[in-house]
Amino acid sequence: MTLEKLRKIPRVKLCNAASPLEPHHNLARLSGAKNFLIKRDDTNCFATGGNKARHMEYYLGDVMKRGADTLILLGGRIHNLSRMAAAACAKYGIECHIIIEEDESGLCGEPQDLREILSSSMLDAHIHIHAPFKNHQQAKIAMQKLADSLKEQGRLPYMLHHDSDRMPVEAFGYIHAAAEIVDQLDEMDQEVDVIFCAVGSGTTVAGLLFGLRSLGCDVPVVGVSVGFFPADYLKQQIRTKIDQIAQLLDEDDLVEDEDILVTDDYSTQVVVTSDIDPNHPVALAAKYEGLLIDPFFNSKSIYAAFDYAKQHPESQVMLLNTGNVTPSYYNPKTMAQRPSLLQEAV
């Protein structure tokens, strides 16, 4: 029923879903799990992939449904959404405007910021550097000002903000992911005890949980805070988003409060590649599976999954890998040195 209703909701095509669900025998052996499955949303393909590819399919569907020709959003320090929004807009001929806060040094010069600015600019987004915002309200005012000036120029802007009163259409992407998981487990004749997934705003977990429960799958989902917010706040956010999804689809809300599980115990598990503990699950995944896990978002969720497996021998765990590996490792400063290295070699 839920999937039927989703067919009627405007969506653009960006992902090459279904993403694979793969067993990782070496991680299972090293953690003591019976099975260590990874849902490879890092392979979603579009603009280096990740969970935002699924989100953007519905964001852009909504932009087009409303007849807008311009998208405005707030960028951030490690903001995959900016990159994906710029890429999706490039593909569908929408003008993309990204407001990025200047950092405190006034340089806007964190490597991550530079990276996002660079890639978004290459993807033809308009970047607006803004003095630091004191609060979210100020940021919204800046978005509104930009929208007003674009309207004066004859454009029809759509503002993508993160207020809790905005309906999270992008979460629908993870109802599809839930359906894929249910089908894939069935095809593999496989069960899982628990699914771990990174949580920043809660949108991904809200869609996943709603999707799984509406498909009759009761596997617990543990959201692992990436460190932006504490667990209690994230639980509330996920609750609100699930209620909104149910409202949007006009369906019963099958997710109980006790079913919303979030931990913030792993927020410090950021990986610095030059100084990585060889026993960190990110290092083990690379060394024994040839699998690169991003050092910021999924470094925490894989740590939580690994920890669970160590504490529950013979368990069957799944990690939903939300991606972003390539840009997180990419360092523009190193890349900038390349032409001179090449010149030396010639």
Ligand X SMILES: Cc1ncc(COP(=O)(O)O)c(C=O)c1O
Interface of this chain with ligand X, residues 214 to 273, rule: CB under 6 A: 226
Q: How far is CA 212 from the centre of its chain?
A: 18
| Segment interacting with ligand X, rule: CB under 6 A, options 106-114, 195-203, 254-262, 334-342 | 195-203
Q: Which is nearer to ligand X, 55 or 95 (CB)?
A: 55
Per-residue contact flags (x/-) with ligand X for residues 39 to 78, judged by CB under 6 A: -----------xxx--------------------------
Interface of this chain with ligand X, residues 135 to 164, rule: CB under 6 A: none
Q: Can you give the chain as a three-state secondary structure string?
A: CHHHHHCCCCCCCCCCCCCCEEECHHHHHHHCCCEEEEEEHHHCCHHHCCHHHHHHHHHHHHHHHCCCCEEEEECCCCCHHHHHHHHHHHHHCCEEEEEEECCCCCCCCCHHHHHHHHHHHHCCCEEEEECCCCCHHHHHHHHHHHHHHHHHCCCCEEEECCCCCCCCHHHHHHHHHHHHHHHHHHHHCCCCCEEEEEECCCHHHHHHHHHHHHCCCCCCEEEEECCCCCHHHHHHHHHHHHHHHHHHHCCCCCCCHHHCEEECCCCCCCCCHHHCCCCCHHHHHHHHHCCCCCCCCHHHHHHHHHHHHHHCCCCEEEEEECCCHHHHHCCHHHHHHHHHHHHHHC
User: Minimum Å distance from CB 84 to ligand X?
Assistant: 9
Interface of this chain with ligand X, residues 116 to 135, rule: CB under 6 A: none
| From 202, 227, 281, 327, residue interacting with ligand X (rule: CB under 6 A) | 202
Per-residue contact flags (x/-) with ligand X for residues 167 to 186, judged by CB under 6 A: --------------------
Q: Is 322 in the site for ligand X (CB under 6 A)?
A: yes
Q: Which is nearer to ligand X, 28 or 234 (CB)?
A: 234
Q: Which is nearer to ligand X, 157 or 223 (CB)?
A: 223
Q: Which is nearer to ligand X, 53 or 142 (CB)?
A: 53
Q: Which of 130, 127, 158, 143 is nearest to 56 (CA)?
A: 158
User: Minimum Å distance from CB 256 to ligand X?
Assistant: 20
| From 44, 82, 203, 299, residue interacting with ligand X (rule: CB under 6 A) | 203
User: Minimum Å distance from CB 342 to ligand X?
Assistant: 31
| From 43, 80, 82, 269, residue interacting with ligand X (rule: CB under 6 A) | 80
| Segment interacting with ligand X, rule: CB under 6 A, options 104-112, 192-200, 277-285, 312-320 | 192-200
| From 143, 198, 219, 262, residue interacting with ligand X (rule: CB under 6 A) | 198
| From 120, 204, 214, 263, residue interacting with ligand X (rule: CB under 6 A) | 204
Buried b / exposed e over 79-113, threshold 16 CB at 10 Å, is: bbbbbbbbbbbbbbebbbbbbbbeeeeeebeeebb
Q: Is 295 in the site for ligand X (CB under 6 A)?
A: no
| Segment interacting with ligand X, rule: CB under 6 A, options 8-16, 99-107, 183-191, 316-324 | 316-324
* Residue type (1 letter), 201: S
Angle at 250 between CA 245 and CA 253, to 5 degrees: 60
Q: Which is nearer to ligand X, 30 or 210 (CB)?
A: 210
Residue whose C-beta lies closest to ligand X: 200
| From 200, 211, 227, 281, residue interacting with ligand X (rule: CB under 6 A) | 200
* Residue ranges in contact with ligand X by CB under 6 A: 50-52, 80, 198-204, 226, 297, 322-324
